Amino acid sequence: MKKCDYCAKEITYFEQYCCDECEQNALQYHARSERFSKLFLIVNTICVFGIPVGLFFAAFNHAVGVSIASLCCLVLGIMLILLPFPTDGMIRKHKLQKAIKMCRIFGGVVIGLGVLILGLLFVLK
**Residue pLDDT, tens place only, 17-71:** 999 999 999 999 999 999 999 999 999 999 999 999 998 998 888 889 889 999 9
pTM: 0.88
pLDDT of residue 1: 79
Q: Answer yes or no: are the C-beta atoms of 77 and 110 closer than 8 Å.
A: yes
Of residues 95 and 125, the one with the higher pLDDT is 95
Q: Give the domain ranges of the chain.
A: 37-123
Q: What is the C-alpha end-to-end distance of the chain, expressed in Å? A: 59
Q: How far apart are CA 40 and CA 60, in angstroms?
A: 30
Name the nearest CA neighbour of 78 among 113, 32, 52, 34. 113
What is the full DSSP assignment across 74-92?
Answer: HHHHHHHHHS----HHHHH
Q: Which three-class secondary structure state does DSSP give residue 1?
A: coil
Examine the pLDDT at 124 and tell me if it is beyond 90: no
**pLDDT tens per residue across span 76-101:** 999 999 999 999 999 999 999 999 99
- Amino acid identity for residue 114 in this structure: G
